[in-house]
Amino acid sequence: MSLFINNINSLKDLLLVFLTVALFYLAFPSGGYGFTAWFALIAVIISFYQKTPRQAFMLGLLAGTLGWMVSIWWVVGGLANITGSPFNVVIPFVFIFCLFSALPYALVSWLHSRYTWGTSIAGTFKSSILITVLINFIPHLLPGNLAHALYLHTEQIQLAAIGGVALIFFVIHWVNFLLAAAFITYRAKQQTPWRFIALALMLLGGNYLYGLYAIGNVSEQVESSQQPSLTIAMVQPNFPVNWRSRDDWLQHYHQLTDLLNKVSHNEQTQLVVLPEIPVPISYQKFSSDHAIFDQARNNKAMLLTSIDFTGEHLSEQQGYYNGIEFVQTKDPVQQYHKQFLLPFGEYLPFEDQLPFLRQLFPHAPKYKAGSSTKLLSLTLENHHIKIMPLICYEAVFTQLVAKGVNQGSDILINTVDDAWFGDTAGLQIHFALALFRSIEFRQPLVRVTNSGYSAIVDATGTVIENSKITPQQTGTSITTVHLAKINSIYQKYPYWFMIFCLIITSYILITDEKRLSDVK
């Protein structure tokens, strides 16, 4: 902390940092006021004015670290529950993650000050491009950012269908940098602030108007589509996370199968989707489960998240897969293995190189990763509907979803167990991160969780109201989903904005460094 204090030499700077941290928290789904994303960073950007690059770096690092900490505090309890580790072990790991996640903001703060980008339109554009590259195009463990704050403001996030989440992120940050520049130039009386304000308003207005147009256009295409609709039943059993064994399942399975029996006897139901749950189940591996589910599903197609082990018995030594089994009466069972495993939640990273980690996280599972994307085929009379299966946080990775979409998927189905996070903001954040896939690829997203936010999102990114199940309660919903083949620009050209940003970034760094050298 003394390192921060030595480089932040005024109470005003600290207050500006804390204001940004507060607004960052409010903007994130954890805070519930997504609209504050449009001005959350203004305060800390103002604090960079007339600071040395080192001071700006420390201000950015402090704001970013604290911002992440207050936004993902819920991870601590979740990791402790999953791994069986005490809080005093988990908290340092979460702090290191927050510090690492703040480094891109700190680096851009340093560049923003070094090249004096804070008082020109071109400068604000440069800062926005660089932060977009560092946050969106470098892999992160948890790819969440301010763009996800707008997940319930559907008309403000339609740019995702053009350039993905990164394009929304860029617009949000450019607006923040422009408004900060307006304040700085007004106070310094260097130049008129109105051109910054005018451009910011143009970006806000243009984004909103495009959103209205896109929603209307996609809705019309869905309504006129010749593709079949699909009636989906979702089951949310609300199993507590301390039920983790086969004995727990065999003792309490009625809590799930009673709901399954109810929705499967509805004549309209064509597909039943069951969530990821903490107990090990398998339609294929356990004969008792085969009988239990066949008795309850009433011959309806059923998708369940299961465990698949390589030997004859479930064994930690041999390993196992987190998978999906897709059961239809007249067809062989189709299967998918999860490819993107959750660090600490499903495997222990660097366990071979750092064996002491197993002592710190004794109950971290030993899942194996699947090797390929596979679509599931649902047969309905004369139609075949292609399902892209996604388990847990696989839905937050655009590149993975794109593989299934490019194979011809019609709908995305995401099975989740958010009970690990209890009644915390983790439920909203996980849902928000997944929702954007429906806009990027213009396909409905079915998200069913053991206990959390179970809902269906249509191709515009709008949550279908009657599909929602109350979080942290036992419940079901039956919803008819309309399908349509809509090819988004982002689906056709997923890397255009990244390439554009990388080219511009290279040009900026070369020319501005040369300009600075010439001045010296």
State pLDDT tens for residues 182-238: 999 998 877 789 999 999 999 999 999 999 999 999 999 999 998 889 999 999 999
The C-alpha atoms of residue 309 and residue 445 are separated, in whole angstroms, by: 28
In 144-162, which positions are buried (b, 16+ CB within 10 angstroms) versus exposed (e)? bbbbbbbbbebbbbbbbbb
Tens of pLDDT, residues 432-447: 999 999 999 999 999 9
Strands (E), 245-330: 271-273, 301-309, 320-328
Most confident region among 19-33, 83-97, 268-282, 420-434 by mean pLDDT: 268-282
Q: What is this structure's pTM?
A: 0.92
Output the pLDDT for position 86. Answer: 82
Query: What are the residue boundaries of the structural domains of the chain, listed by start?
Result: 2-221+495-519, 227-487
In this prediction, what percent of the chain has a pLDDT beyond 90?
Answer: 74
Residue for token digits 């996070």?
Answer: 421
Q: Which CATH architecture has domain 227-487?
A: 4-Layer Sandwich (3.60)
CA angle (44 as vertex; 98, 50 as ends), nearest 5: 125
Mean pLDDT confidence for 320-337: 91
Tens of pLDDT, residues 380-406: 888 899 999 999 989 999 999 999 999
Strands (E), 329-380: 331-337, 367-368, 376-380
Q: How do 445-449 and 411-416 pair as beta strands? A: parallel
Provide the 3-class DSSP secondary structure of residue 447. strand
Output the pLDDT for position 316. Answer: 63
